Amino acid sequence: MKISKRDTVFIVIVAIVITFLTLGAKERTTKAVPDDAIHDKATSREQCMACHGADGVKPQPLGHPKANQCFQCHKQPDHWVGGTVKTK
Ligand code: HEC
Ligand code: HEC
């Protein structure tokens, strides 16, 4: 197969797009849930929101997503009691 000038341009564009997607994904990482005594034992959204609701000690920032699955975006603590992966 002969690689034409057009193919080269196409390959370069694909490489640039992949680079930007990779960098973008890195920038979007959210803060992990702290692996401390409080967070290891909080197992319901109600518990999280008691402290992270608008009147809590550390409210979520303005415009925070309304989503409930906290660990989908904030990494679950390594010693979380509700965890299924590590039991010890
Ligand atoms: C008893 C109060 C309390 C409960 C319950 C609680 N948190 Fe927190 N959380 C805090 C405080 C205070 C901080 C800030 C100080 C710190 O980093 O430890 C914090 C920090 C955080 C942070 C930000 C960490 C950072 O680097 O800034 C995240 C994310 C978080 N909590 C998520 C959660 C989730 C998810 C739950 C439920 C599983 C939860 N918290 C339950 C008090 C609480
Ligand atoms: C759809 C993704 C998503 C979900 C689900 C989510 N968060 Fe967040 N959260 C974010 C983003 C994005 C930020 C702001 C940027 C960052 O933390 O790096 C943030 C920030 C926070 C902060 C402030 C951290 C700091 O120190 O500035 C707290 C506290 C927090 N979230 C708690 C929660 C709790 C509690 C839940 C579950 C009820 C939850 N989040 C669910 C995306 C999410």
pTM of the model: 0.80
- Given pLDDT bands bounded at 50, 70 and 90, which one contains residue 82? confident
Cα–Cα distance for residue pair 57/8, rounded to 1 Å: 56
Question: Which ligand 2 atom sits closest to the C-alpha of 48?
Answer: 35
| Structural contact between residues 81 and 40, judged by C-beta atoms closer than 8 angstroms | yes
- The per-residue pLDDT for range 2-61, each reduced to its tens digit, is 888 999 999 999 999 988 888 776 666 789 999 999 999 999 999 999 999 999 999 999
| Structural contact between residues 63 and 69, judged by C-beta atoms closer than 8 angstroms | no
Domain boundaries defined on the chain: 5-73
- The per-residue pLDDT for range 63-76, each reduced to its tens digit, is 999 888 899 999 99
Tokens 């005594």 correspond to 37
Which residues surround ligand 1 with Cβ inside 6 Å? 31, 33-34, 36, 38-39, 42, 47-48, 50-52, 57-58, 70, 74
> Which residue is closest in CA terms to ligand 1's atom 30?
33
Query: How many whole angstroms from 74 Cα to the centroid of ligand 1?
Result: 10
